[in-house]
Amino acid sequence: MGDVANSSIEFHPKPQQQREAPHAGGFGCTLAELCSLMELRGAEALQKVQETYGDVGGLCRRLKTSPTEGLADNTSDLEKRRQIYGQNFIPPKQPKTFLQLVWEALQDVTLIILEVAAIVSLGLSFYAPPGEESEACGNVSAGAEDEGEAEAGWIEGAAILLSVICVVLVTAFNDWSKEKQFRGLQSRIEQEQKFTVIRNGQLLQVPVAALVVGDIAQVKYGDLLPADGVLIQGNDLKIDESSLTGESDHVRKSADKDPMLLSGKQQDGAMESSQTKAKKQDGAVAMEMQPLKSAEGGETEEREKKKANVPKKEKSVLQGKLTKLAVQIGKAGLVMSAVTVIILALYFVIETFVVDGRAWLAECTPVYVQYFVKFFIIGVTVLVVAVPEGLPLAVTISLAYSVKKMMRDNNLVRHLDACETMGNATAICSDKTGTLTTNRMTVVQSYLGDTHYKEVPAPSALTPKILDLLVHAISINSAYTTKILPPEKEGALPRQVGNKTECALLGFVLDLKQDFQPVREQIPEDKLYKVYTFNSVRKSMSTVIRMPDSGFRLFSKGASEILLKKCTNILNSNGELRSFRPRDRDDMVQKIIEPMACDGLRTICIAYRDFSAAQEPDWDNENEVVGDLTCIAVVGIEDPVRPEVPEAIRKCQRAGITVRMVTGDNINTARAIAAKCGIIQPGEDFLCLEGKEFNRRIRNEKGEIEQERLDKVWPKLRVLARSSPTDKHTLVKGIIDSNTGEQRQVVAVTGDGTNDGPALKKADVGFAMGIAGTDVAKEASDIILTDDNFTSIVKAVMWGRNVYDSISKFLQFQLTVNVVAVIVAFTGACITQDSPLKAVQMLWVNLIMDTFASLALATEPPTESLLLRKPYGRDKPLISRTMMKNILGHAVYQLTTIFTLLFVGELFFDIDSGRNAPLHSPPSEHYTIIFNTFVMMQLFNEINARKIHGERNVFHGIFGNPIFCTIVLGTFAIQIVIVQFGGKPFSCSPLSTEQWLWCLFVGAGELVWGQVIATIPTSQLKCLKEAGHGPGKDEMTDEELAEGEEEIDHAERELRRGQILWFRGLNRIQTQIRVVKAFRSSLYEGLEKPESKTSIHNFMATPEFLINDYTHNIPLIDDTDVDENEERLRAPPPPSPNQNNNAIDSGVYLTTRGTKSATSSVFSSRPGSPLHSVETSL
């Protein structure tokens, strides 16, 4: 219900430039004064305000603003304020320039090696040895070669350099466009942040950056304060200042004790964004706001802090798998290239000096060196082709492309990897209100004056007294920001502004032909005596007003089963009180509330209570105040299911995703809506639980949550009703930590309220509502649904799966090229002393295969068929068996073709053989045909690679992807140019039409061969291994479980040494504990205290140390120890290994399965024990 607390604040946003002028621009405060004021807290600040300005009103006057009307909304005044006090935004970090990106791309090791080799080769080609014509140096060049050709030795070196430059530019350009897209996204997220200010007495939503000093702003529950400020008026305002002070308790702010409010908006980025959450219990708050971080000394650390908080590039599961795979491939390539170079060099040396028996002549040295450089270049090109540098590129392109397209599907992605994780989601925990339903609440049934109305009653049917009470109770006891405005367009529905449940009640007042506005004008917000705002614990909201006879009247509304328990009277049909006993209440629940709930209605009770002037209660004792009520009415509010939701949920279920509904509504309403949506189907085995029952089932006698108990509940749970935010977090954490299925669950969660923050953070993917969501929820989420609609989540699943598939398509294609090119270069070099594919040709192949193909295959649009398969697991390998079959199958075809052409091609085409050509001989047609055929096969195989699940029709939907078509045709065109006019640099000689047709024919054979491969059932090929598994168990746990911990550097994570040292440390501590124990038995007998829950055991439970696999061989403790058993008797029983301990969420247990339970018991200490000092020092 109502995040009710409106408040006004005055803002002085952040100055960029230091302008010091005596009372600048006619305002009564300088920048420096405001800055020094904001550095004070509490009483000091109040004193300073009183001394300098008299009171907050005085400060407003100095800043030429009115606490009630706000600033005049004229541009020149606002501009002047910006000039003097600066603007309210933090300038973004400078993007990298294109040149910096080029420089970064040049850092690639293989490219550097190539550059060096090319330069050496260039240098040597210009050196003409004196004994050039002497035959002594072996066959340097055949006689047929004319002088001009010999001079062209430099071309190869130059061409290699040129192609390196090409590769670098393409990489840099890709990075640059990626960076640009990312910035666009960031600025889009930032522009979406608006804040409510009062200007000219009107409430306006302005972008946070447009706030100026002197603005009066309204703060509601769950807002992030966009600037520093001073409180003008407020009710029970609490603010989370933990990011500044480190204190987790909320700080109470009031105009008479501590009026200073500090901005807590941090550029989004670091895992734990600090926020100053305005948490209000009630009423109106008004504050004056002050410069957000001025440029002065005290504030500079703030800037530094912001700089350090640049978004960390988080490594997603997919990137983890890919990096691992790329490293493995790179290693293999390195070995191959080294072997190639060694074989070539040995062969040459033996051939020249041993077989032909030549002596090494001094004047021949440069010639020989040139040979060696050539071998070296061949080796390096093998390496270049082997290393798939296109992999990271493919991921980035694919993610960036998806993110851009997802914008159109109403998904605003805040963290890139969320989009790919979403494809693996196995469970979605969704809110009900607004996500599954339209969030346009309407009152459809009511119980007034002893009568149950199935539709809105006629005003004449009600007693005037009841009607009057009802109108007042609804109009006053709701946030004054909640209104019903006339529709924007003719014939549309009236606009509901503010809290939807309250809108339904206000709508009910309008349906009764009454009006709420006059009532509100008669009792404005600042006349309200006390407000208890709605929160998830109370589940009710109450407002107290002072009556003309100086008594008080309290209006209350809330969940019917909760408020009816506090009612002792009820109004009958004449508007008189009659007593309302527990028996009557049960009667009412059965006859009115349950039938309403079974129709899917949310029931709300509206009640009041009068206090005479004499018996003014203690207003802080809320339980006493809100009790002994008189029930006016019970209304049933319906929130209709969105028409498109049932279909979306069916799609999710088909795709192997379980949808669970978590709502604060009562169980009958929830069950009715779940049935309408199709979350529960008749005849299925499912659970619908209330929060209480859920907690009873999952907690043991001590009230601790046990994973085993949770594992019995969650697989069948479909609806969790009357749940608190903690229940939601518990459920999400329980499903994620569960080991029952064959693979770990990947959970997506939707949330809109401030209290959903923890669950959104804990989930693998958190969806926040763009319209209804609070800033805090958006800050904690990964994806923002700009239309608050469940169908957008299904779109996100589709895109996520598409990213995964795009990467797999690219991999399938890339690896085929790699395998073939490496083997051809290697065997060719060994048999004919010269790679059939030249260095420059290899680089071109590498360029089209890596960069262009990643563009072509990574931008395939998603299809509905993606939702027909089950989700991939976390540890499912990237390269499935089917893909492995395709890769090897196509490699066989290509290798056969190329070797046939290499060894008998000259006979077939009736041309000169290109084998064993001397050093600077002109390019031969023979080798050109091989190169051309190779590229043609790659082009056709690129079409095959579009399908990875063994589908037959590879052309399906090909025209839906213009990028793909452009790239394939473009590559083909460039290939024609290279072959026909590439000449010496590309080692190509022009081919005739017939030869071209043969090349095309052999290339197109790939498509036919693809069909052949598709007929071979994968299940028969047991020998095929999958590759590219996810990070293993041990690497995964710390990644998955590191709950909001700062990302630890990957390299550090992999250092097992750390863990071993940790164990040694533990061993030492244990030895010390034993010594301590000896003392304890005598000293601490008197100090026995109840068992402490914060034993080291839990304390050490940080995810980084979840040690599964390598515990066994590290001697933790000698089991045969006698003390150990004594200790075990005194200590509480060791918790079960995967107990989900709520007290300390980061639970990780050293007693992993398989270690002796001895360890756990050592660490359970008593609060009084000296061990406590050890815990803290740890």
> What CA–CA distance (Å, rounded) separates 501 from 663?
14
- For 1072, the token pair is 């010390």
The residue assigned the tokens 């072509």 is 856
Q: What is the 3-state secondary structure (H, E, C) of 833-859?
A: CCCCCCHHHHHHHHHHHHHHHHHHHHC
Q: Could you give the 3-state DSSP secondary structure of residue 427?
A: strand
Q: Could you give the 3-state DSSP secondary structure of residue 1123?
A: helix
> What CA–CA distance (Å, rounded) separates 759 from 1023?
44
Which amino acid is located at 924 in the chain?
A: S
- Using CA of residue 582, residue 588, residue 590, residue 594, what is the dihedral sign? negative
User: DSSP letters of 715-730?
Assistant: TTEEEEES--HHHHHH
- For 479, the token pair is 């946030």
- For 1032, the token pair is 């293993």
Q: Characterize the bridge pairing of strands 215-217 and 260-261.
A: unpaired
- For 263, the token pair is 């901005």
How many C-beta atoms lie closer than 10 Å to residue 187's C-beta? 11
Distances (CA, A) of 813 to 600, 704, 843, 883, 1011: 53, 52, 17, 9, 16
- For 394, the token pair is 């493919």
Contact (CB, 8 A) for 836 and 930: yes
Which of 236, 417, 431, 756 is catalytic? The answer is: 431
Contact (CB, 8 A) for 791 and 644: yes
- Nearest CA-CA partner of 799 in 322, 408, 245: 408
Contact (CB, 8 A) for 648 and 417: no
Helix, strand, coil % (nearest 5) of the chain?
Answer: 50, 15, 35
- Nearest CA-CA partner of 642 in 696, 678, 588: 678
> What CA–CA distance (Å, rounded) separates 845 from 935?
7
How many C-beta atoms lie closer than 10 Å to residue 563's C-beta? 24
Quote the DSSP letter at residue 229: E
- For 867, the token pair is 């939702």
Residues 6 or more apart in contact with residue 65 via CB below 8 angstroms = 10, 71, 214, 215, 216
Q: Read off φ and ψ for residue 602, nearest 5 degrees.
A: -90, 125
665 is catalytic: no
> What CA–CA distance (Å, rounded) separates 287 from 36?
18
> What CA–CA distance (Å, rounded) separates 315 from 31?
43
User: DSSP letters of 276-312?
Assistant: -EEEEEEEEEEEEEE-SS-SSHHHHHHHHHHHHTPPP
Query: b/e per residue, 591-605, with b = 16+ CB within 10 A?
Result: ebbeebbeebbbbbb
- Using CA of residue 379, residue 384, residue 388, residue 392, what is the dihedral sign? positive
- For 523, the token pair is 């009792």
**Cα angle 798-803-809, degrees, rounded to a multiple of 5:** 120
Q: Could you give the 3-state DSSP secondary structure of residue 259?
A: coil
CA dihedral 156, 162, 166, 167 (to 10 degrees): 50
> What CA–CA distance (Å, rounded) separates 285 from 1060?
55
Name the residues annotated as catalytic: 431
